[in-house]
Structure 1
Amino acid sequence: MKIRLKKLPDQVMVITGATSGIGLVTARKAAKQGARLVLAARNEDALKQVCDELNGQGAEATYVVADVGKEDEVHHVASAAIQRFGRIDTWVNNAGIGMFGRNEEVSTEDKRRLFETNFWGVVYGSLAATEHLKRNGGALINIGSEVSDVSVPLQGIYAASKHAVKGFTDSLRIELAEAGAPVSVTLIKPGSIDTMFAVHAKNYMDVEPKLPAPIYAPDIVADAILHAATHPERDIFVGGGAKMAAAGAYYMPAVIDRIMKRVMFGQQRSDQPARHRENSLYSPSRDLKERNGVGGRTRETSLYTSAITGAKSNKALMLGAGLALAAVWQLRRNGGLKHKYAVPKQS
């Protein structure tokens, strides 16, 4: 069955994790383009502020207080959307929590709690959404990560949750296609994004965590989400750095392991002592901020992501470049190339 997605001004969109970072930016951008919104998060005061802001600008937004790790609360989000607007056209599973620390140091309780939000929240949201989307069509958009494809030290349980999100999303996409459901299922895989992720994360280290470069603006992720809401896409990497990391892990896993061991510990440890602070693992954040701010190091654009979400000719160009790069890597692995090839810098 051919999937047809509505234009944003004609859509009812559900966004979880809507009071911070990517979710907040996406809500504001979607509202500006005319979408009607159902926003979900754990902090009612923050949700009310966002909805008051958007409605004051002429948008139509409502909210539902919900912990996505609780199945009944996710179903309440879907019911509220149907009750208010009569349908759901796009559902964005964005809510997520980070954690920094060696796997052997992180408690089992904290590991389970992270999975409740990052994995089970996506499962509950996806199934609640597809129950309605299968009737009239629409888009399911799950937020994974570059670590859905390549893992990193010090974020092992987070990477595991995003690997699980990828496995679930891919299988659900196939099942819906086999059933002839008119539902587009997209996995968005951002690289490091300048949000409150590191500030809200549970931290087991003796220093404050930081994100490894390159770091991209959350607006790029929001634009990719809104593109997927109107154009069926299987998956979208946000940032050429994310795509290169995933490709490297696929074609040269042992090499990437050695690189990770050499550089990734230092890139995730700041020079600031760890602070005794609240995190978002068990309680909601209250800052209502899009960005943390990384001292001017944020990349405001991504040529790679713009090409992937742009014209078909641009997609063909990027696909051709990717296949050529894959061929070079495969030849190197098989000993077919005698000279070293420099991989061009991605943006």
Structure 2
Amino acid sequence: MTIRLKKLSSQVVVITGATSGIGLTTARMAAGKDAKLVLAARDSDALDKLAAELRAGGREALAVPTDVGLQEEVQALGRAAIKRFGRIDSWINNAGVSIFGRYRDVPLEDQHKLFQTNFWGVVHGSLTAMELMGENGGAIINLGSELSERAVPLQGMYSASKHAVKGFTDSLRMEVEKDGLPISVTLIKPAAIDTMFVPHARNYMKNEPELPAPLYAPEVVAEAILYAAEHQQRDIFVGGAAKMVSMEGHGVPRVLDKVMNLMMFRQQRKDQPSAPDRSDALYQPNGLELRQRQGGHENPVLERSAYTYLTTRGKPLALSLLVGGALLAAWKMSAPQAAPATHDA
């Protein structure tokens, strides 16, 4: 099986959740690279405005209102892409939403709805893309999270949905490889990102929710997504913080339980009370579309990730650093040891 992914300038790219945050940033960035775009979201007005914006810049864009939780609508999205452009080269399953609150406070109906979007939306999109790409191949890119690797309190069902996305994506990749299909299957695992994630989330806490530091810019995720559209990748952690959470979760899970109990209940809540008429996007768009970032965080937002760069575009440099570090460590271990110096910790 040989996978040959095209340059973005020659690609037809489907993006779900395209009118906000990571999806919106990815759509605009892909348009800047001359990709042909098929844009999907629930808000038809926002989709039309985005498509018009991109067309005004000389790009080709098709808007297809879609609820990814409904299989028939996702299949219709795929058919619309084929009818307009004749093929699909990359399919990005990005749509998602969260809920803040303890399990005992969140109605099961809401938890089911979150899973319908976050997990089943990825399943519907991936299976539709695999069927339509067929022997021509392409890239399926699914948005997981650092919480695909490690759950947190107060976003329990969101964590569970991202664990499920990882399990589905990993098993789908094996089946694709077994069948010899020329399709790259990638899982993107971002750290906390400065998007409209919090304003779109449903809240069952007394205070307004917040994302703990460190936060990264959505452009960092979009760059990783579009890199995966051109280069076969198994998975990409976006932000060194995401990789660190994964390593700690696997290496010292019980210690991390204790740390999160000490910190995450406080760090995911602002001081301000949650408004009684607060809107969210769990069941329908809440009028906050076409915004890439939330802003207004107490902590700074990181515009770049050296870790993500080194593990994707900077592989030769990363390898050199790793080899150099290993040689230095070996030299230190073999060199005569001097008497230890004393210092204050």
- Deviations 1:210-255 (CA, angstroms, capped at 9, x unpaired): 0011000000000000000000000000000010001100011011
Partner Cα distance (1:231, 1:312) in 2:
13
Q: What TM-score do you get using the length of structure 2 for normalisation?
A: 0.91
Tell me the distance in 1 between the aligned counterparts of 2:167 and 2:85.
31
Contact 1:98 1:158 survives alignment (8 Å): yes
Please name the residue that 1:216 is paired with.
216
Q: Distance in 2 between matches of 1:312 and 1:25?
A: 25
SS of 1:163's equivalent in the other structure is helix
Residues 101 and 155 in structure 1, CA contact (< 8 A), matched pair in contact too: yes
Of residues 302, 306, 310, the one that matches 1:299 is 302
In structure 2, what is the Cα distance between the partners aligned to 1:121 and 1:280? 15
Shift of 1:322: 11
Q: Alignment partner of 1:258: what SS?
A: helix
1:307–1:318 CA contact under 8 A, matched in 2 = no
Inter-partner Cα distance in structure 1 for 2:153 and 2:135: 42
Comparing 311-320 and 67-76, the one that deviates more = 311-320
C-alpha deviation, 1:285, in angstroms: 3.1
Letter in 2 for 1:316: L
Q: Count residues in correspondence.
A: 324
Structure 1 ranges of 4+ moved more than 6 A: 318-324
| Residue of structure 2 in register with 1:94 after alignment | 94
**Aligned AA (2:263):** V
CA separation of 1:256/1:129 partners in 2, compared to 1, >3 Å: closer, same or farther? same
1:312 to 315, 318, 324: 315
Change (3 A) 1:5 1:41: same
Q: CA deviation at 1:296?
A: 6.3
Deviations 1:103-161 (A, max 9, x none): 12111100000000000000000000000222201000000000000000000000000
Match of residue 330 from structure 2: none
Which amino acid in the other structure matches residue 126 of structure 1? S
TM-score w.r.t. length of structure 1: 0.91
Give the 3 Å change call, closer, same or farther, for CA 227–323 of structure 1 in structure 2: farther
Counterparts of 1:282-297 in structure 2, within 5 Å, are: 282-287=283-288, 288-293=290-295, 294=297, 297=300
Aligned residue runs from structure 1 range 58-137, under 5 A: 58-137=58-137
SS in 2 for 1:186: strand
- Alignment of 1:278 onto 2:282: no
Q: CA contact under 8 A between 1:308 and 1:318: conserved in structure 2?
A: no
Please tell me whether the aligned partners of residues 145 and 188 of structure 2 are also in contact (alpha carbons under 8 angstroms).
yes
Cα distance in structure 1, aligned partners of 2:11 and 2:194: 28
- Pairwise CA distance, 1:313: 1.2
Report the counterpart of residue 264 of structure 2 in structure 1: 264
Structure 2 unaligned residues grouped into runs of 5+? 328-345
Query: Does the aligned pair in 2 maintain the 1:43–1:285 contact within 8 Å?
Result: no
**Structure 1: distance between partners of 2:325 and 2:156:** 28
Amino acid at match of 2:136: N
Give 1:127-276 correspondences, 5 Å limit.
127-275=127-275, 276=277
Distance in structure 2 (CA, Å) of the matches to 1:259 and 1:269:
16
C-alpha deviation, 1:312, in angstroms: 2.7
Q: CA-to-partner distance for each residue in 1:16-71, whole Å, 9 max, x for gaps?
A: 00000000000000001000000000001100110000000011001100100000
Q: Contact 1:96–1:118 (CA<8 Å) still a contact in 2?
A: yes
Give yes or no for contact 2:39–2:61 (8 Å, CA) kept in 1.
yes
Q: Is the 2:19–2:47 contact (alpha carbons within 8 Å) kept by the matching residues of 1?
A: yes
Larger gyration radius, structure 1 or structure 2: 2
The SS at the match of 2:104 is coil
Residue 277 of structure 1: how far off its partner (Å): 1.5
Shift of 1:314: 3.3
Q: For the structure 1 residues 30 and 257, does the alpha-carbon distance in structure 2 shift closer, same or farther, using more than 3 Å as the test?
A: same
Counterpart amino acid of 1:278?
S
Counterpart amino acid of residue 162 in structure 1 = K
Q: Is the 8 A contact 1:215 1:298 kept in 2?
A: yes
Q: Which runs of 5+ in 1 are unaligned?
A: 325-347
Q: Secondary structure at the match of 1:271?
A: strand
